[in-house]
Every structure is written in structure tokens, then in C-alpha cells.
Structure 1
Amino acid sequence: MLRLFKGSPPRILVAGFAAIILIGAVLLSQPFASAEGTALRYLDAIFTATSATCVTGLTVVDTGRYFSVPGQLILLLLIQIGGLGFMTMSTLIAIVLGRRISLRERIVLQEAMGQQHMQGIVDLIKRVLQYSLTIEGIAAVLFTIRFANDMPLGQAAYFGVFHAISFFNNAGFDLFGEYRSLTPYAEDPFVNIVTMALIILGGIGFVVIKDLLEYQRARKKLSLHTRVVLSMTAFLILFGAAVFFIFEYTNTLQPLSWRGKILASFFQSVSPRTAGVNTVELDDLRQASQFFLIILMFIGAGPGSTAGGIKITTVAALLAGVRTMLQGKRDIVLFHHRLAPDRILKALTVATLGVALVVVVTMVLSVTEQASFIRILFEAVSAFGTVGLSTGITPELSDIGRALLIFTMFAGRLGPITLAYALRPKQEKDLFRHPEGKLIIA
């Protein structure tokens, strides 16, 4: 696969994802991909292919009604490739064919998986496929059993497989039609719990899953990365559910039973962190709730996962830095481990670039689109965080708005730093250091 591309690992990742999107767009624009046999506009095909490959879930056409079965299967393939990463898929193909993974390919894999070390990267890729197929397979069976109560068994099995892959990869595409998502199952504990489990497992990252599975038979000690991801995930889910429950108790949650209120609160806390599935109408939420979901979408989930956003480890590092500054200490510490200064600098860079991109996209969309500011901001952050939640304005976007969100989804999936490294010219190494200066920071 790497022989098709030249350049640094970031450039290879950008070129690889772009190639998959273009191929997917060509296929989705063909008449056979449409249920009515009509060709989809190429801009809309690129938007849909980008949304699927970047596991976002924003749609300009109704997935369940517009696309034929072949078109839906193309979407499913794009979701799987995008969720696992094109380098992961190409490496697995190379392993099956018995080809040796070169050093250059291992370096790109290290970049794609967000790993600090190259050691064991090929073994991790093998486990990624094993974990993914196992989790998706179990979820597909569970969904099939549940959906068989509402539809014929064959259709239930198809729906089970599609939604298991879509939800585990945090894509958010669904086949229920009319942009309903999972609102018909708002009070169904089975569908809610299985879906939330898929979203969480897909969002914590494959490194964390591997660490948890090897906990008993290996070190019996979790890595710092795993502890930070799990603790931040638990905190955001519990805190998010409590905030949503309070804000929406007399609004969208009012018609639901107590069980439904609790399920909906937890679901809307889990999903915005990159899944793009909802059980209540987002356009009916109070603005305070919509803004809170925007914050969750911007944060995202764990690195090396199917999730987007600036990642919860970035937020944890920044919060630890703030705490250290307020306490007047020197070292930034998390779980009794000192963080290197370059980790904090990278976290600050990721957050700053993320904010800058969202601000620019929101400003432009505010000029080109006819919608309230909160809905435009919601859409921009949803695209950047590769979430896919929408207040309903995506199908109404202008061509400029659609093109802008295509770029935003692409940048959000690859990460602002990876995209910046890929686009920058070759840097010459500094041969000297400037003298240290003093800058007053308020």
C-alpha cells in the first residue's frame, strides 16, 4: 500500500484517507447505489463518503431510504476501513498474503495508531482486528435478536450487522429512516445498553482494551494511559448524564418514564463524545443542553480509537497543567507519574488548533447558512469531533457549507497536528538556539 504514496507518515495518512474517500464517492454516485436508480450529486457523494470514512455520521440524504442495499454495503465498508484505519486494513491484507511489514510501514502504523513506540505495533494491529470482529459479531447477534421482534428475521439480521459495525466504529449511520436515529427505542433498555457498550468500547481505544484483557495474566497493573482514559471516560459519562438530566427533566425527558429519563440521560452523555446516535430530538433541546453537548463533542474519546475530538487524554493533560500552576508546583503529575513538557505542549497545540478550526468554520457557516448560531456551532463541532449528531440543518446546507464540513470532518478524523505536518514544507533543523526572553503572562 505504501508504494502508492510517497512522503512522511502524516502525508501518507492524508493521501490514503483522501484516496479511499474519492473511491467511495465514485461508487456512491453511481445509479446502482441509489434505491431509485438515480445518480447522487458528486458533491453529496463526496460528503457522504467523507462522513463514512471519517466515521462521522452527518448525512445530506436519508441513509435508510435513499441508498440501495449495495449502496449501504459500500457505506458499511467505508465505515469499517475508516474506523480501523486504512493502514490497519492494508497491513492485515499484507499479513494474510504473507508479506513482511517494512520499517517504513511500521513507522506509519505508529503514527496512525498514535503510539509513542514502534515495538509490538504489528501484534497490536492483529489484535485490533480480533477485538473488532469479536465485539461487532456479538453485538450483531444481540441486535438481531431484538430487531426480530419488529421486522422479518432476514431484515433484522441485516440491521443487526449494519448497526453493530456503525455503532462500534462510532459512525452513527442508521437505517431507520426519516433521520429518526434511535428515538423509537428511547425507553428500550436492551437497545440502549448494547449501543452504549459499543460506543464506549469503540471510544476507549484498542490499546486500552488490550491492556484490560491482559491485566490478569500479565502485569496486573494498568498503564498510565489506560487509567487516564478509563477515569476520564467514567467521569464524563456520569457528569454528563447528571447535567443532561437536570437541564432536560422538564423538557425532552418529560414524556418519558423514570427508566426512560435515566436511559436517555446516560445515552445522550455517551453518544456526543463521538458516536452520533440519539434517542431524543436534538433540535428540541434547550440551548444550554445543546451547548453542553457541544463541549462533550469537542472533547471526544480516547486516542487510538474510532473516536474524534481533541481526545480525553489531551483534556486530562491540560487540566493537570492548570492544577500544577495553581498549586505553584513544578512537575505536572497524573496518577503519580510526571508528564514530560512535550506532552503538555502537544496537548496545548491540539486544543488550540481544534478551537481555531471550529471558530473559523463556524464564522464562515454563519455567513453562508440560514440558521441560528447555536445550531451552526453544533454542526461545526459535530463535524470536527467526527460525531455526526445534528440539529437537522445538514441536508439544508449550501454547497459551500457542505464543502466546508467535508474539510472539517477530514481534519477532525486525521487530527489537526497530522494534517498540519502533512501540509507544511520540509523543515530544516535549527543550527542554533535563541537567547531566552522574559514575557509577562497575566
Structure 2
Amino acid sequence: MREPIDKSQLTREQRYRIGGAEYRALDILVKLVPAYYLGNVILFAFFFRIYIACSTYAQDVLRTTNATGPIDPWFFSFFQSLSAFNNLGIMLCDASMVPFQNAPAPLIFTMLLILFGNTAYAINLRFIIWSMYKLTPLSRPMRRETLRYMLDHPRRCYTTLFPSTQTRWLLLTLVVITLVEWVSFLALNYWLPVLDGLNWGSRIIDGLFQSISTRNAGFAVISLMDLNPGTQLVYIVAMYISVYPVAISMRNSNVYQVKKKKKNR
């Protein structure tokens, strides 16, 4: 009787076939998740750097905003990208994002990084896998089978990869909570001195930024102490419930827990 072959002697293709779709799915995720992290951080860091190179206002801010001296543009770009993606809320500017109240580009970049790194991470990841599945040609059936397996059985592959129902629910709650914060910012503060000097375009983008940032990261584009108490209350509630949508999605999509419940019945 032949002795079993050690797995180290198997080729990559043999391991793929023997391991099945779940093994291949994990192999894809091992590459996809780090690429997602590094890709977002590096890409948006270059976006920040390009914006600074094209904006004399941003250059003046980095040169004069801190009493300790000017901020290096490259260091600022990568630091801001990394801090926003990891939802740290830390900035090299002493006044946080306040100097960029009238600058939409850095606010938009930071908002996207905050979402991509936290609340919308599971949504983005599923969208990327779905796009890969749609773009994979029919001539590669094994790859399509693997991606389809990841879409049909996401929690068997990754903790924060959810089925379509939970992903849609997560997207809906993200939009609703952000809209409530945004509307409260615009409706309850439009006559207050904290927004004096800001045109409506800046108020809209600043309100959206603050709604996304307050719940997750902690960057500030205006003085939160000077806002209407009603807006502050909405922000407090949003921060309190910020983890629940993802936590509930994880709980409801736990395949092992669902199986256990069915057995108990």
C-alpha cells in the first residue's frame, strides 16, 4: 500500500483541486485583503499629495497652521491617508480639518477613507468580489466557482464578509444614520455663528464630513462645542450605536450558530 503523499509535494494546482472551493477562497482573500488595505492607503496618499501640489491654499495651510513649523507634504499625505483609513482621528494639523473647511477635495478623500476602512468595509469587499466574479471569463470555471462560493457562503471564508441580505441591510443603515446626522447638522445650525462665513456648498460638504467622521473616526471640520445641542445629541446617539449594524450582521450571518439552532429544533 502506498504511503500518503505529503502536502508539500503537491503542486499548486493539485492543492487547489483537493482543497476545494473553500481553500481557493481563502487563498484569494489572503491576497485581496492586504491589497485592499495597502491599495487604499497608498492610492489616497498620492491623491492628497497631488491635491497639495495643485493647491496653493493647502501649501499655505501646511506651512503656517502649526506653531512648531511647516508640515512636510509627503509625510502629511501618507499620515492622513493611514489615519483616516484606520479611523484614528489623528492629524498633523493642530486644528484637525478646520483649516480645510472650504476645501472639498481633502474632505472627500478623508470621508471615503473613513468609510472604506470601517463602516463600508464589508460592503466594498463584497462588491469587489462580485465585480471579480462578473469580470472573470467563462473559460476559467474554477475561478468563477471560487468567487461564487465566496458570494454564496461568505462567513465560511471571512468574518466581515456578509451575505447579500445582510450587506444590503448594512448599506441601508449606513445611509440612514448618515442622512439623519447630515440633516440635523444643516437644519439645526444654519443660523448659528459656528457656520458664519461658510457658503452653502461648504456647509453641505462640511456637514456630510462631520456626520461620517463623528460616528467613526473623530476628525473635526468645525467646533463641535459650538453646535446646537440637538445636533450634539444626534452625534452622541450615532456614536453609541455605530458598532451595532456590523455586529448584528455578523451575528445574523454566523453559519455555525444557525446550524446549531436548527439542530436544537
* TM-score band w.r.t. shorter chain: 0.5 to 0.7
**3-state SS of paired residue (2:232):** helix
Residues of 2 paired with 1:121 and 1:339: CA distance?
Answer: 17
Maintained 8 Å contact 2:166/2:253: no
Aligned 1:122-271 pairs, distance under 5 A: 123-148=28-53, 149=56, 150=59, 151=62, 155-177=72-94, 180-204=95-119, 206-218=121-133, 223-251=164-192, 252-271=194-213
Q: 1:247 to 1:314 in 2, by over 3 A?
A: farther
Residue type matched to 2:113 in 1? L
**3-state SS of paired residue (1:204):** coil
Residue type matched to 2:244 in 1? K
TM-score (norm 1): 0.40
Counterpart pick for 1:312 among 229, 245, 248:
245
Maintained 8 Å contact 1:170/1:203: yes
Residue type matched to 1:200 in 2? L
What's the counterpart of residue 6 of structure 1? none
CA deviation map 1:319-343 (0-9, x unaligned)? xxxxxxxxxxxxxxxxxx9999x78
Residues of 2 paired with 1:338 and 1:160: CA distance?
Answer: 37
Q: 1:121 to 1:135 in 2, by over 3 A?
A: same
**3-state SS of paired residue (2:131):** coil
Q: Percent identity?
A: 26
Structure whose alpha-carbon radius of gyration is higher: 2
Residues of 1 paired with 2:166 and 2:24: CA distance?
Answer: 17
Maintained 8 Å contact 2:71/2:92: no
CA deviation map 1:403-434 (0-9, x unaligned)? xxxxxxxxxxxxxxxxxxxxxxxxxxxxxxxx
- Are 2:209 and 1:276 aligned? no
Residue type matched to 2:241 in 1? I
CA deviation map 1:42-80 (0-9, x unaligned)? xxxxxxxxxxxxxxxxxxxxxxxxxxxxxxxxxxxxxxx
Deviation of 1:216 after TM superposition, in Å, equals: 3.2
Maintained 8 Å contact 1:232/1:316: no
Deviation of 1:199 after TM superposition, in Å, equals: 0.8
Residues of 2 paired with 1:128 and 1:212: CA distance?
Answer: 13
Q: 1:229 to 1:253 in 2, by over 3 A?
A: same
Q: 1:338 to 1:205 in 2, by over 3 A?
A: closer
Q: 1:162 to 1:217 in 2, by over 3 A?
A: closer
- Structure 2: gaps spanning 5 or more residues: 1-21, 64-69, 134-147, 153-162, 259-265
Q: 1:156 to 1:215 in 2, by over 3 A?
A: same
Residues of 1 paired with 2:253 and 2:122: CA distance?
Answer: 21
Q: 1:245 to 1:205 in 2, by over 3 A?
A: closer
Deviation of 1:286 after TM superposition, in Å, equals: 2.1
Residue type matched to 2:222 in 1? V
Residues of 1 paired with 2:191 and 2:248: CA distance?
Answer: 31
**3-state SS of paired residue (1:250):** coil
**3-state SS of paired residue (1:176):** coil
What's the counterpart of residue 100 of structure 1? none
Aligned 1:344-359 pairs, distance under 5 A: none
Q: 1:316 to 1:288 in 2, by over 3 A?
A: farther
RMSD of aligned Cα (Å) = 3.2
What's the counterpart of residue 288 of structure 1? 230
CA deviation map 1:301-332 (0-9, x unaligned)? xxxxxxxxx332446899xxxxxxxxxxxxxx
Residues of 1 paired with 2:41 and 2:236: CA distance?
Answer: 28
Deviation of 1:181 after TM superposition, in Å, equals: 0.6
Residue type matched to 1:169 in 2? N
Maintained 8 Å contact 2:181/2:231: no
Deviation of 1:198 after TM superposition, in Å, equals: 0.7
- Are 2:241 and 1:299 aligned? yes
Residues of 2 paired with 1:125 and 1:241: CA distance?
Answer: 37
Deviation of 1:123 after TM superposition, in Å, equals: 4.1
CA deviation map 1:180-229 (0-9, x unaligned)? 11001112111111111111111235443221012234259962232122
What's the counterpart of residue 140 of structure 2? none
| Number of residue equivalences | 197
CA deviation map 1:272-317 (0-9, x unaligned)? 22111110011212222111111111122xxxxxxxxx33244689
TM-score (norm 2): 0.65
Maintained 8 Å contact 1:245/1:262: yes
